């Protein structure tokens, strides 16, 4: 009888004894938080790296360099103390109190989940797992060096014609308008600069781009001071087609999430958003009165959006199935009229009127004013001359480029220039109408006579270094 009572008791004790280490072994380990994959994307999405980078050091604090991120800024307190969240000033700055946080400034605070993620990363030792290929950083004191000519996605003359901006790698290169010398290098965070636009008064320059698959960015530069006034991080991929409203109050751009957006260029606040497109928005332009923005997209359409209401108004291109033959890539507006020049995958430059005057019908293309003969390949760049008398279109096909210029009154072709060295991605008239700048795949800027297409000069926008073991 005694042995009968003892047996289950002993068995129970043995069960408990052996279950304890098993339970301990099965307790899930705390997942290691990745700085590169989890924490850094938060800092980018909240625009922390936009306000705290070498070109714009808010509070003398830089967050794009890991050592500087840990060190801190003007407060003198260490921003991040590995393993000690309570001593990390950065965590204190981003942790909301009564729904408000000190940082990010003038923006919604991080969510509880985001703050917890940053805190956990610090607790775990604030390790930097950034791949070596992503650690290289550039600034004005350490600008990029080029071992080969860069692909040039954009060229733009200033409104006064006294400077020519060229999109480079991690920078915008400001040149004298005749290509005789480099004026300044505006080095920023984005490795790719997809589009550039001067403010109407010429005092500011907007550039948009980003790093593919990581972030998009709009930069606003003070031309006279060579200073980055604003950096706005947008999404997780490169952005396109930046443009200024004629009244200077808005900067618009397109995104690969199929949206068009607009920001206040002084504060960075997003004040314009529309998602009517079904594919990437690649270029934008404002109406003469700044009350509408027009967008073109890979979805083969040109759309009209009212700025004040952010409301989609109209498809300016035909909605007839099969009428369009490819995505639209580039757009420009007549300098004094709401007429729009666009180009894209079908190679044919087209001019549309902005305001519909006839009821839409299936099968019509009533807003189309003129379709020009197709150029080889896709059109990547279009431009009006400042007086509206000429239009230019640049295309690319099979590693070759072509530029055509037309008279806007007679619609006659004035000249054609074939460029066998590479495709053309951008064209722009100097304000005096005498010169057309051309840029593209081969990395050279060509300045040609706008009247006849004769080459005036060509130049590489940056010195090309000889490859060495060091670089």
Distance CA 229, CA 49 (A): 14
Lowest average pLDDT, out of 21-35, 111-125, 143-157, 246-260, goes to 21-35
Residue linked to tokens 């220039």: 417
Q: What are phi and psi of 29, to 5 degrees?
A: -75, 150
- For residues 228-238, average pLDDT: 94
Lowest-confidence pick of 100-104, 227-231, 234-238? 100-104
In terms of DSSP bridges, do strands 350-353 and 378-384 run parallel, antiparallel, or are they unpaired?
unpaired
Distance from CA of residue 208 to its chain's centroid?
3
| Domain 155-459 superfamily per CATH | YVTN repeat-like/Quinoprotein amine dehydrogenase (2.130.10.10)
Q: Is the pTM of this model over 0.85?
A: no
What pLDDT does 113 receive?
Answer: 92
Contact assessment for residue 219 and residue 190, using Cβ atoms and an 8 Å cutoff: yes
Tell me the C-alpha distance between 392 and 405, whole Å: 4
Rounded distance between C-alpha atoms, residue 469 and residue 471, angstroms: 6
Peptide bond into 104 cis (omega under 30): yes
pLDDT band at 29 (very low <50, low <70, confident <90, very high): low
Residue 470: per-residue pLDDT:
58
> What distance lies between CA 59 and its chain's CA centroid?
25
| Adjacency order of strands within the sheet including 400-407 | 378-384, 390-397, 400-407, 413-419
Residue 471's pLDDT is 57
Cα distances (angstroms) measured from residue 18 to each of 5, 7, 12, 14: 21, 16, 10, 6
What is the rounded CA–CA span in Å between residue 204 and residue 162? 14
Look at residue 57 in the predicted model and tell me its pLDDT. 78
Higher pLDDT, 110 or 380: 380
Q: Are 122 and 47 in contact (CB under 8 A)?
A: no
Domain-wise residue ranges, the chain:
35-134, 155-459
Q: What is the pLDDT of residues 283-319, one digit of tens each?
A: 999 999 999 999 999 999 999 999 999 999 999 998 7
Residue 46, pLDDT score:
78
d(CA 240, CA 249): 19
Identify the top-confidence range among 18-22, 62-66, 75-79, 245-249. Answer: 245-249
Place of tokens 């604003």: 230
Cβ–Cβ under 8 Å, residues 255 and 234: yes
More confident residue, 214 or 336: 336
- Averaged pLDDT score across all residues of the chain: 90
């Amino acid at each position: 009888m005694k042995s009968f009572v003892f047996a289950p008791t002993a068995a129970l004790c043995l069960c408990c004894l052996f279950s304890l280490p098993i339970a301990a072994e099965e307790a899930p380990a705390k997942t290691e938080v990745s700085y590169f994959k989890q924490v850094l994307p938060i800092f980018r999405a909240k625009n922390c790296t936009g306000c705290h980078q070498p070109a714009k050091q808010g509070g003398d604090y830089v967050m794009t360099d890991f050592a500087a991120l840990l060190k801190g800024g003007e407060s003198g307190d260490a921003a991040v103390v590995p393993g000690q969240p309570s001593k990390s000033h950065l965590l204190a700055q981003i942790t909301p109190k009564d729904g408000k946080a000190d940082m990010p400034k003038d923006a919604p605070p991080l969510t509880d989940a985001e703050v917890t993620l940053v805190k956990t990363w610090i607790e775990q030792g604030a390790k930097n797992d950034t791949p070596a290929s992503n650690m290289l950083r550039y600034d004005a004191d350490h600008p990029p060096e080029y071992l080969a000519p860069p692909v040039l996605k954009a060229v733009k003359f200033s409104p006064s014609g006294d400077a020519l901006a060229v999109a480079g790698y991690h920078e915008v290169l400001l040149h004298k308008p005749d290509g005789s010398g480099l004026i300044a290098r505006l080095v920023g965070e984005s490795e790719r600069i997809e589009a550039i636009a001067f403010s109407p008064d010429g005092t500011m320059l907007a550039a948009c781009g980003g790093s593919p698959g990581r972030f998009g960015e709009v930069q606003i530069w003070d031309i006279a001071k060579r200073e980055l006034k604003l950096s706005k991080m947008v999404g997780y991929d490169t952005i396109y087609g930046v443009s200024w409203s004629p009244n200077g109050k808005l900067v618009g751009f397109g995104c690969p999430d199929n949206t068009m957006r607009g920001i206040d260029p002084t504060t960075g606040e997003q004040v314009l958003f529309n998602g009517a497109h079904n594919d990437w928005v690649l270029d934008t332009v404002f109406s003469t009165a700044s009350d509408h923005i027009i967008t073109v997209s890979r979805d083969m359409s040109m759309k009209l959006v009212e700025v004040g209401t952010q409301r989609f108004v109209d498809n300016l291109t035909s909605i007839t199935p099969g009428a369009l033959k490819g995505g639209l890539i580039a757009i420009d507006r007549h300098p004094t009229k709401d007429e729009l020049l666009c180009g894209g995958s079908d190679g044919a430059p087209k001019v549309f009127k902005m305001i519909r005057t006839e009821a839409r019908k299936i099968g019509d293309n009533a807003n189309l004013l003129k379709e020009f003969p197709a150029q080889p390949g896709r059109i990547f760049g279009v431009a009006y001359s400042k007086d509206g008398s000429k239009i230019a279109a640049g295309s690319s096909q099979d590693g070759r480029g072509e530029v055509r210029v037309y008279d806007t009154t007679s619609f006659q072709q004035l000249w054609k220039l074939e460029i066998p060295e590479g495709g053309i991605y951008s064209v722009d008239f100097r304000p005096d109408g005498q010169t057309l700048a051309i840029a593209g795949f081969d990395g050279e800027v060509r300045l040609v006579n706008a009247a006849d297409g004769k080459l005036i000069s060509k130049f590489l926008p940056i010195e090309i270094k000889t490859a060495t073991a060091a670089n």
